[in-house]
Structure 1
Amino acid sequence: MLDVEENGKTFEENAIIKALSFSQHYDGYVIATDGGASIPALGESWDGLRTKRFAGEEATDQERIEKLLTLMKDKKDNERAMLWREAIAVARNGQVLFSEEVEGAKGEVQASFDPTKYKPGIWVCSIWYFPELNKNFFDMTEKEQEYVEISWHRLFKSTRNYFEKHL
C-alpha cells in the first residue's frame, strides 16, 4: 500500500492527491475519496481535514471521542452543529479526470458517548445525533442512514454520470 501525504487544503484536494498518486502505480482508473466533519463552533481548534488525526496520529477511537467531547463541553444547542463533507476524485495514468466535493449530513455532536452506539473505525457516528429524527446515527434504520448519508449518494450519482459520458 502506498503512503500518501494528505496535505491538501480541501477534501477535494486530498482526494485528488490520493487518486493521482495511486494512478501512477496502477494501470486503470483510480477512485479516491476524502472526507471529514465540519464543526463551525470550534473555529480554529478544529480542522475537519484532520478529523481522524486531530487527537494525534496514533489516537484510538475512544481518545478521539473523548477529546472531541471535551472540546464541545461548553457548547449549547446550535453550537453543537456538525456536518459532513466528502470528496471524490477519479484519475488515470497520473491525470485527474473528475473531482467533486459535496456537503452531506447535518446533525449535532452529542454531549456524551454511549459505548453501545459504537463501531470500530466509525467513531464520529458514535456521537452524531440527528435532532430531526431524534436519533443517534447508529439508532437509525437503514433507510434513515441512507437519508443522512446524502453526500455519498451525490458523489455516486455525479461519478456515475462522468463515466456514462466518457466511457
Structure 2
Amino acid sequence: HRFAGPVADDQERTRRLLELMEPYHGEQREAIWVEGLCLADRGRILASWELTGGTGVIAETPSDTPAIPGFWVFSVWHFPQFGRIYNQLTPEELESLDDHWISLRRLLRRYFQSHFVPSGRY
C-alpha cells in the first residue's frame, strides 16, 4: 500500500492505482493475485504455500459494488469472461478460476486432516 502513501485509506489506494494505470490498456492491465500462507507453531514452520489466482484486468473505473474493507483492489479487479469484478463473482465462477482462496482453504484443510484428525473422524 506504500505506493499511495502511508496514511492512504482504501478509496485513496484505489484512486492512486487507477491513476498509475491510466497509460495502460488491454493486456497491459492484466493482474493476478498471489497469496501466501505460512502455518507455524511457536516459531517452527509446519507448512507454507504460495498460490496464484485467476487472471483479470484492472478496470478503468471502480465498481459501484461496495469494496470489502482491506481488500480494496477487488473493486477494480475485473474478469471479462464473467463481466464482473472479483467480489461479485459466484462461488462457481471463483471455482472455475482456480481461485487462490479456495485452493488455500483446501490445502489447509488437507494439512489439518492429515496431521491432526484421527482417521475416519472427518
Global fold match (TM > 0.5): yes
Report the RMSD for the aligned CA atoms in angstroms: 1.9
2:19 corresponding residue in structure 1: 70
- Residue 143 of structure 1 aligns to a residue whose secondary structure is helix
2:110 counterpart residue number: 161
1:89 partnered with 2:5: no
Q: Which residues in structure 2 correspond to 1:1-167 (within 5 Å)?
A: 52-114=1-63, 116-119=64-67, 120-148=69-97, 150-167=99-116
Find the aligned partners of 2:100 and 2:107 in 1 and give their Cα distance.
11
- Counterpart residue type for residue 134 of structure 1: G
Count, aligned residues: 115
In structure 1, C-alpha distance between the alignment counterparts of 2:91 and 2:108, rounded to whole Å:
23
- 1:39 maps to which residue? none
Give the fraction of aligned pairs with identical amino acids, expressed as a percent.
35
Gap runs ≥5 in structure 2: 117-122
Residues of 2 paired with 1:124 and 1:149: CA distance? 19
Counterpart CA distance in 2 for 1:92 and 1:59 is 33
Q: Within 2, Cα distance between the matches of 1:140 and 1:72?
A: 23
SS across alignment from 2:33: strand
SS of 1:54's partner is helix
Which residue in the other structure is 2:120 paired with?
none
Distance 1:149 1:109 in 2: 19
Runs of 4+ aligned structure 1 residues displaced above 6 Å come to: none
Stretches of structure 1 that go unaligned for 5 or more consecutive residues are 1-51
Show CA shifts across 1:88-128 (max 9, x none): 111112211100101112100001124x2232322101111
TM-score relative to the length of structure 1: 0.61
Q: Against the structure 1 CA distance between its residues 149 and 66, is the aligned structure 2 distance closer, same or farther, given a 3 Å change threshold?
A: farther
Q: 1:155 to 1:70 in 2, by over 3 A?
A: same
Shift of residue 152, structure 1, vs aligned partner: 1.2
